[in-house]
């Protein structure tokens, strides 16, 4: 049963059509204290009208001196109409999992909003196991509702299946901006709870194991809201010189792995984080000699679409699109071409350890800093200020065939070294980090002891401005440390961060 075109009515089920109302009426069905599971992942497929109206209600309540707050669970980051508006209104009590909205970040770091940073692959089961309390409302953007009540998901699928199953009340936003050709692209699969959980039967990246539709119990649907609004769709920034150099090191390394016979010629399924460096790697792959590539990842971004278009990539599995407006136009205009090459799965499947381990994914993620032993901080600036969140980096790094972390060797105009004696917050321990890359070089840490790793990381990855100071620290630690297995001088190990907080520079005063 197909939805005919973007212009026809998107709500074909008469029962659910009778529940169509305005966004303001739907927002009035949400109570203070509710826990709401919202759709949305990396700026795509998030509800765009009801959160704005909810923010108005919250602002009015605040004006009257009443406290009105809700807890917001999503797939990952959303857009200004959701996170931005609700944060601005002071309307979020607890937010999880990943966010990247400036206002939300500001409120969390001011201590005004609770934020729980959860592995993206864990969120659905945490809610299903009851770890996070009752989910009151599911607020989900969809592409269309079919005659028999089944629902065509939107440009991301995230945790929507779980939100729909677990919530008492469901509000659907039907967004006619979303292309009808999304129908058939999704693969919704439900895991049973332990001890009855079964193996997930995905043996290759493009395999479909579930249904293209979400099933929604009609009796739980309290509102259907019609919208016509674009996803966040951040404009694309061409990769800068540093990102291109990082990409170059990674591609050379992958070629070497193939030569060594540790990987097939078409590599293994690629997972690529978001951002400038990740896109540079994908762009680099377009010119590299690899053919028949596959991807098992979280988001389909510009670089990946380019690879699909050129034929280098044969299929991509993810949970969401995250495209620039230009690339979105390209995909929309050629949906039949991309339709069979892209599978969008619930994020508990796209990020599932079992599948990531079985397929042997190559995990490539950006980081904030790494220490000389290979521990990685992906989330907290100076150990306390959240940037975005761990996202899926832990799901992929811990379980992939290879885990690669990458960053420029300096940040904030050189006042910060991203290679430090000790990370100020740990997201990925030294046990889960196999390769570190900066524009200066690549350190392959496999098979090395901590002290060997430290010398290699400083030699290959550190910025020349900080190399001497890092070596000096390591040499003294090797002589004076309490233990010589992972030498540290505890009075100094976080001194670089302290110095930055005091002087605005990690270098000691005489050096700048």
Smallest distance from ligand COA to CB 310, Å: 23
Q: Which residues are catalytic?
A: 298
Distance CA 147, CA 109 (A): 46
Q: Which of 99, 136, 155, 378 binds ligand COA (CB under 6 A)?
A: 378
- Per rule CB under 6 A, count of chain residues that contact ligand COA: 23
**Closer CB to ligand COA, 143 or 365, in the complex:** 365
Pick between residue 71 and residue 417 the one whose CB is nearest to ligand COA.
417
CA–CA distance, 85 with 77 (Å, rounded to integer): 13
Q: Which stretch binds ligand COA (CB under 6 A): 171-179, 203-211, 334-342, 388-396?
A: 388-396
Q: What are the Cα distances from residue 139, in Å, to 49, 93, 324? A: 10, 17, 25
Beta carbons of 38 and 82 less than 8 angstroms apart: yes
Binding test (CB under 6 A) with ligand COA, winner from 72, 124, 274, 457: 274
Q: Does 303 bind ligand COA (CB under 6 A)?
A: no
Report helix, strand or coil for 138.
strand
Task: Annotate 138-157 with b (16+ C-beta within 10 A) or e (fewer).
Answer: bbbbbbbbbeebbbbbbbbb
- CB neighbourhood size of 416 (10 A): 24
Question: Is residue 388 part of the contact set for ligand COA (CB under 6 A)?
Answer: yes
To the nearest whole angstrom, how small is the minimum distance from the Cβ of residue 194 to ligand COA? Answer: 25
Binding mask 357-376 for ligand COA (x = CB under 6 A): --------xxxxx-------
> Smallest distance from the beta carbon of 504 to ligand COA, in angstroms?
11
Q: Sign of the CA dihedral 235, 241, 244, 246?
A: negative
Q: Which tokens go with 290?
A: 């690899």
Helical H segments across 334-388, by residue range: 335-339, 347-350, 353-359
Contact call for residue 391 and ligand COA (CB under 6 A): yes
Nearer to ligand COA, 152 or 469 (CB): 469
CA distance 350 to 341: 15
Report 396-415 residues binding ligand COA (CB under 6 A): 411-412
| Residues 115/108/65/32 CA torsion (nearest 10 deg) | -20
Q: Is 387 in the site for ligand COA (CB under 6 A)?
A: yes
Closest distance to ligand COA from the beta carbon of 258 (Å): 24
Contacts of ligand COA in 183-222 (CB under 6 A)? none
d(CA 36, CA 67): 17
Complex with ligand COA: residue 225 or 318, whichever CB lies closer: 318
Nearer to ligand COA, 180 or 463 (CB): 463
Q: Give the nearer residue to ligand COA in terms of CB position, either 39 or 388.
A: 388
Q: Per CB under 6 A, which region of 20-28, 191-199, 272-280, 301-309 contacts ligand COA? A: 272-280
The structure tokens listed for 470 are: 């890092």
Of the two residues 167 and 462, which places its CB atom closer to ligand COA in the complex? 462
Q: Which listed residue (62, 211, 276, 332) binds ligand COA by CB under 6 A?
A: 276
Q: For the purposes of burial, counting CB atoms within 10 Å of the CB of 358, is it exposed (0-12), middle (13-18) or buried (19 or more)? A: middle
Q: Give the whole-angstrom CA distance, residue 281 versus residue 468.
A: 29
Task: List interacting residues with ligand COA (CB under 6 A).
Answer: 273-277, 298, 365-369, 378, 381, 387-388, 390-393, 411-412, 416, 418
């Amino acid at each position: 049963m197909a939805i005919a075109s973007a212009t026809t009515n998107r709500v074909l089920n008469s029962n659910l059509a009778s529940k169509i109302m305005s966004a303001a009426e739907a927002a009035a069905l949400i109570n203070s204290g509710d826990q709401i599971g919202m759709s949305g992942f990396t700026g795509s497929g998030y509800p765009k009208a009801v959160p704005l109206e909810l923010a108005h209600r919250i602002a009015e309540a605040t004006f009257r001196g009443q406290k009105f707050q809700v807890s917001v669970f999503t797939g990952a980051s959303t857009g200004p109409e959701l996170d931005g508006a609700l944060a601005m209104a002071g309307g979020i009590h607890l937010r999880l999992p990943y966010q990247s909205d400036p206002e939300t970040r500001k409120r969390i770091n001011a201590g005004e909003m609770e934020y729980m940073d959860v592995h993206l692959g864990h969120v659905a089961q945490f809610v299903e196991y009851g770890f996070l309390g009752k989910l009151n409302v599911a607020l989900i953007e969809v592409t269309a509702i079919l005659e028999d009540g089944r629902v065509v998901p939107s440009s991301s699928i995230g945790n929507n299946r779980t939100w729909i199953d677990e919530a008492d009340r469901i509000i659907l936003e039907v967004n006619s901006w979303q292309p009808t050709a999304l129908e058939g692209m999704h693969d919704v699969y439900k895991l049973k709870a332990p001890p009855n959980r079964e193996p997930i039967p995905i043996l290759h990246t493009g395999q479909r194991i579930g249904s293209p539709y979400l099933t929604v119990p009609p009796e739980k649907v309290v509102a259907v809201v019609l919208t016509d609004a674009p996803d966040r769709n951040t404009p694309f920034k061409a990769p800068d010189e540093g990102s291109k150099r990082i990409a170059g090191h990674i591609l050379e390394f992958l070629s070497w792995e193939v030569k060594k016979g540790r990987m097939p010629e078409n590599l293994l399924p690629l997972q690529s984080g978001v951002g400038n460096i990740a896109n540079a790697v994908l762009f680099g792959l377009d010119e590299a000699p690899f053919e028949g590539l596959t991807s098992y990842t979280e988001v389909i971004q510009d670089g990946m679409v380019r690879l699909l278009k050129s034929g280098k990539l044969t299929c991509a599995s993810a949970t969401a699109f995250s495209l620039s407006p230009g690339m979105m136009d390209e995909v929309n205009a050629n949906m039949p071409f991309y339709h069979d090459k892209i599978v969008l799965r619930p994020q508990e499947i796209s990020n599932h350890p079992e599948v990531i381990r079985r397929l042997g994914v190559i995990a490539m993620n950006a980081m904030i800093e790494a220490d000389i032993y290979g521990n990685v901080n992906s989330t907290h600036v100076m150990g306390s200020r959240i940037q975005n969140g761990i996202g899926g980096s832990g799901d992929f790094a811990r379980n992939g065939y290879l885990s690669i972390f990458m960053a420029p060797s300096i940040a904030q105009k050189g006042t910060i070294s991203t290679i430090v004696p000790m990370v100020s917050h740990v997201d990925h321990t030294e046990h889960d980090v196999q390769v570190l890359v900066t524009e200066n070089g690549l350190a392959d840490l496999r098979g090395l002891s901590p002290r060997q790793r430290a010398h290699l990381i400083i030699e290959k990855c550190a910025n020349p401005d900080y190399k001497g100071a890092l070596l000096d620290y390591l040499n003294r630690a090797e002589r004076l440390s309490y233990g010589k297995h992972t030498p540290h001088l505890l009075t100094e190990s976080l001194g670089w961060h302290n110095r930055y907080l005091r002087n605005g520079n990690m270098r000691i005063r005489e050096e700048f």
